[in-house]
Amino acid sequence: MDLDRPHPFTPFPGTDAETFIQWKGTQVCLDLYCSCSPREPRHFDADFAYYLRCPACGAVYETGTQLKMRRLAADEQPAMEPAESVDE
Ligand SMILES: [Zn+2]
């Protein structure tokens, strides 16, 4: 990993591989644990969720472009077929 590359290529802490997501307006279902109430997640089912607003305190968050990736050992491989790169 090149630690000198700027955002959004800054390595995600603890990841086994770097990622960069270009959101394409897809649906998302997620829980936001805002710092105003970290034990009370706010649930979102939304389209175009590039930004989220906490309904409790009004804080606005930008949806990230990176994921924490965990490399699976051979005996952890899922039954479903993993997605293939479009570059191949
Ligand atoms: Zn909040």
pLDDT exceeds 90 at position 36: yes
Distance CA 37, CA 25 (A): 28
Give the C-alpha distances (Å, rounded to integers) separating 25 from 48, 64, 78: 4, 14, 27
Residues 6+ apart with CB under 8 A from 19: 12, 65, 66, 67, 69
- Ligand 1 centroid distance, CA of 48 (Å): 20
- Ligand 1 centroid distance, CA of 50 (Å): 17
Distance CA 43, CA 35 (A): 15
- Ligand 1 centroid distance, CA of 61 (Å): 10
pLDDT on residue 5: 59
pLDDT on residue 3: 53
- Ligand 1 centroid distance, CA of 38 (Å): 8
CA proximity to 53, closest of 42, 37, 45: 42
Mean per-residue pLDDT, 48-54: 91
pLDDT exceeds 80 at position 6: no
- Ligand 1 centroid distance, CA of 51 (Å): 13
